[in-house]
Chains A and B, each alone.
Chain A
Amino acid sequence: MSFEIIKRDTNIDFVGMRKYAYVLSAVLLLAGFLSLLVKGGPQYGIDFAGGFNVQVKFSQSVELDKIRMALDSPALTGLVVQDFGDAGDHEILLRASFSEQTANQVREAVNTGLESAFPGVTHEIQRLEMVGPKVGADLREKALEAIFYAVLLIATYISGRFEQKWMVAGLMAAGLASVVYVLDFLNAPTSLSVIVATVAALVLCVVLRLKYALGAIVALIHDVMIPLGLFSLLNKDVDLTIIAALLTIVGYSLNDTIIIYDRIRENIRAKVSPSLDVVINKSVNQTMSRTLITAGTTFVAVFSLYVFGGGVIHDFALTMLVGVVAGTYSSVFVGAPILAFFKPRIDVDEHPAPATA
């Protein structure tokens, strides 16, 4: 007898539930989107906005309000003081905006301010980061480019791999690239370019009838937007490591989606049923125990990172945790059912066996 999370004859009607799933996703996305809209975009950390991060460790616990008063200095404009890391560590994180001051001036201001306000307490600057506005703008540009290329390459790969439509996939890539080229030519801000490119990708998928790519891209937008929205709601900074986490989620979530797609493709070839809905449901159910186990082990590993990994990696781990849940959910409830978007029945010749298989 083996342990089984999912009984072998489980048959949940995922496609039938898709309306509820869409509503749930829409609510989550909307909440995040509204928060982003109200707050004027994500709250960028210093990597993207420029500024200073100073991590200070005290020999004993110190009140944040007193620190705020102690550090009222022209070198520390727009000061934000918050607890950092585990409670027993007595660590704080300071954030200041950039206004032509040097890192040494900031270091000086923090040291003298804290020394005079807390005579009996020793402190140590454990980390000091300064990102100038130029580097910040560059990094922002790079991060957006990274996300764009990830979407482009993955969409191309999926269309090519799943529908043997390498030509069409290439056409879509070229179409997207030229959209971006034109935007670049018109000097559009990169954030706008990415939004337009994403919409263009969706439209191209619909027009070119690339349904697997469409499902993957929708799931992907879903999985990136949910952690971003959550970060906006929690007023957390979006930094380089968060972008790294988001891209990893993209990889992870597509991993999930593709495994289900693989099974759908296999079941279509095996002519399990003429109804795409039935095929999708069967495939999702067949892969369900794998989906849950992998999500579980990944979640456990990342949760351990979240709890024990320390303050520096905390937000990264949080993004991954949210992403693993969102990614798993979207593969099952969004990515798979969306395949039925075009037409519910399967054409006989739609999926010729590839020569290599």
Chain B
Amino acid sequence: MGSLRWRALLAAFVIFLALIHVLPSIPSVRNSSLGALLPSDEIGLGLDLKGGIHLTLGVDLDAALGNAVTSIGQDLRLEAREKKIPVLRPRLLDSRRLEFTLLKQEQRTELDALLAARFGSMEIISTDNGGNGQLRYVLGVTPEYVKYLQDLTMDQALKTIRNRIDQFGVAEPDIRKQQGNRIIVQLPGLDDPKRAINIIGRTAHLEFKLVDDGADVQAAVAGTVPAESELAYLQDKRGASEVKTPIVLKSEVVLTGEYITDANVQFDSYGQAYVGMNFNARGARIFEEVTGANIKKRLAIVLDGTVHSAPVIQDRIGGGRASITGQFTTEEAHDLAVVLRAGSLPAPVNILEERSVGPSLGQESIDKGIMAASIGGLLVVVFMSIYYRRAGLIAAFEIILDICLILAGLAAFGATLTLPGIAGIILTLGMAVDANVLIYERIREELRRGESVAAAINNGFNRATQTIIDSNVTTIIAAVILYQFGTGPVRGFAVTLTLGILASMFTAIFVSRIFFDSWLARRQPGTQPSI
């Protein structure tokens, strides 16, 4: 009976391991002196149970690419001019192609040499005669550069979003890159989803542009905007309503938000909140030059394409400080300061999917799940004990053990428990007894056939084991596929279902056998098993 003792020890060890992983998840145990001795892994709850926000964000990679190609065009024009190669109007055809005109055809080799030496990220797609000795070039971004830029944009976007969330102050955020252009953000326990989304989703692209006071605003609204200028709208709040006033700006960006070192909420003498910004040394120098050269002109502060204010420059501004005013509430000013500090997103970010669950619903789901599990479990346990008597009690004990093992598995592997996950546990309650039922029915059959008690138990276990494994493989296949293709809550279900099947196989085949064998070893000759 040596093997029996070893099996019992092994089972006890597994139960012990399960207990030390499950106990820390019970608050009263965790906070007791026993809690200090146990491992610290708790069962993580999914957002559907804990409350919180799940966001799927799509980064507009084409926009990022377009921006990059536009600035390549500007650089190209400047560098060519330095080399005395006049180049006209670099223009974006789409986010990957750039068109421009070389004025003197005979400079072609010089230009090609410049392109090869300095603009390796672009390749010449076509050149054709533009008349008057001009040559029209179309450049395309190389696939390597596209890949590089997309990776860079994704990394930057991820970093910026992480920064913003850290600054906003959310406990245990989960931010990760997904395939393609997607980023998943999970913010547990947040009670104001609206504000969080405003902070995460805002591009926060800050630009300073001079106002084109000479332009005719009415004509611009009608569609004729002067060259090198653009139409924008000045957003202003009058009481509750927002007013948008058209304004014409010079297209050239004199300064951007990338030079900001700090931003914070400040209050003017009327108690109105505004956002104060500090620039770094380079930004401060540019700002001083721009303001010095444009005294009495208006400088527009453009955030994500909307003009927030366009004050008249009274004097040269040194010291690298600027402010954004505009009837902000304190909360809005705070959130704007957060995004300016954290930096702008390299490209617009769209919210593709949003799921928010309030904390009260999460708790309700937990309570209802526990209720359903308790009642379902109780009914199954009572039925098994009546139908299979002592053997049924073993099965009942094993159902409870299965639940412990599932929970321990969740805690040990750091998996999260979701509402469908609870459903998986409840389902396991019903399905877990299947393995016991198979074994018990087989033993009954063998007994009926007139086998001796020992042989019946032995055959029952051996023959049923093969069937149990065969039949559970299909459910495990289904669960693995669900895990592969599913999203958060469904994955939680796949995990508990798999753990439940494995646990029930272990308890029904291995643990039950220990009970039966020890009963066999102690039994008076002639007694029948209680099954």
Contacts and interface: CB of A to CB of B under 8 A. Distances in A.
The finding on whether chains A and B are genuine partners in a shared complex, rather than unrelated, reads: yes
A256 B474 CA distance: 10
B194 A301 contact: no
A312 B470 CA distance: 33
A150 B478 contact: yes
Contact of A143 (B365, B471, B485): B485
Given A240-B490, A301-B427, A254 B354 contact: no
A130 B353 contact: yes
B426 to A, nearest CB: 5
B355 A130 contact: yes
A309 interface: yes
A309 to B, nearest CB: 4
B471 A128 contact: no
B452 to A, nearest CB: 18
A139 interface: yes
Contacts of B463: 266
B433 A297 contact: yes
A157 B197 contact: no
A107 B351 CA distance: 15
B499 to A, nearest CB: 14
A304 B379 contact: yes
B194 A300 contact: no
A290 B438 contact: yes
A316 B478 contact: no
B358 interface: yes
B405 interface: no
Interface in B455-479: 463, 466-467, 470-479
B358 A134 contact: no
Given A124-B360, A154-B474, A161-B470, A305 B423 contact: yes
Interface string B398-442: 000000000000000000000110110011011101100110010
B474 A258 contact: yes
A304 B376 contact: yes
A289 B441 contact: yes
Contacts of B371: 308-309
A132 B437 contact: no
A116 interface: no
Interface string B348-386: 001111111110110011001101110111011001101
Interface in A254-272: 254-256, 258-259, 262-263, 266
A153 B476 CA distance: 11
Contacts of B433: 293-294, 297
Contacts of B467: 258-259, 262-263
B429 A241 contact: no
B84 interface: no
Nearest to B353: A135
A102 interface: yes
A276 to B, nearest CB: 20
Contacts of B351: 102-103, 130, 132
B226 interface: no
Nearest to A240: B490
Interface residues of A, number: 76
A131 B353 contact: yes
Nearest to A295: B430
A58 to B, nearest CB: 13
A57 to B, nearest CB: 8
A287 B444 CA distance: 12
B358 A254 contact: no
A128 B355 contact: yes
B387 interface: yes
Contacts of B197: 102-104
Contacts of A251: 474-479, 497
A55 B375 contact: no
Contact of A298 (B354, B356, B427, B471): B427
A313 B471 contact: no
Interface in A64-99: none
Given A127-B357, A300-B430, A310-B364, A135 B475 contact: no
B216 interface: no
A287 to B, nearest CB: 8
B189 interface: no
B471 A262 contact: yes
Contacts of B364: 310
A152 to B, nearest CB: 10
Interface residues of B, number: 78
Interface string B72-111: 0000000000000000000000000000000000000000
A250 B445 CA distance: 28
B372 A305 contact: yes
Contact of A255 (B357, B369, B387, B474): B474
Contacts of A320: 423, 427
B39 interface: no
B353 A3 contact: no
Given A128-B355, A312-B365, A296 B383 contact: yes
A146 B376 contact: no
Nearest to B475: A251
B484 interface: yes
A300 B361 contact: no
A298 B504 CA distance: 14
Contacts of B71: none
Contacts of A250: 474, 478
Given A244-B486, A244-B493, A247-B481, A312 B48 contact: yes
B246 interface: no
Contacts of A289: 441
Contacts of B489: 240-241
B434 A255 contact: yes
B485 A301 contact: no
Given A124-B358, A309-B369, A252 B475 contact: yes
Residue among B365, B467, B474 facing the most chain A CB atoms (10 A cut-off): B474
Contact of B383 (A157, A300, A310): A300
B218 interface: no
Contacts of B475: 248, 251-252, 254-255
A2 B420 CA distance: 37
A8 interface: yes
A313 B420 contact: yes
Interface in B186-200: 193-194, 197-198
A149 B481 contact: yes
Nearest to A125: B358
Given A103-B193, A107-B193, A132-B353, 7 more contacts: A240-B489, A248-B493, A301-B376, A301-B426, A309-B426, A320-B423, A357-B466
30 contacts: A2-B389, A3-B386, A8-B448, A55-B361, A102-B351, A107-B193, A131-B353, A135-B56, A143-B485, A145-B485, A149-B481, A149-B484, A154-B474, A157-B477, A248-B475, A248-B493, A250-B474, A254-B471, A259-B470, A262-B466, A262-B467, A290-B434, A297-B380, A297-B429, A302-B427, A304-B379, A304-B426, A309-B426, A313-B368, A313-B369
Instruction: Name the 4 nearest CB pairs between A and B, nearest first.
Output: A304-B376, A298-B430, A301-B430, A251-B475
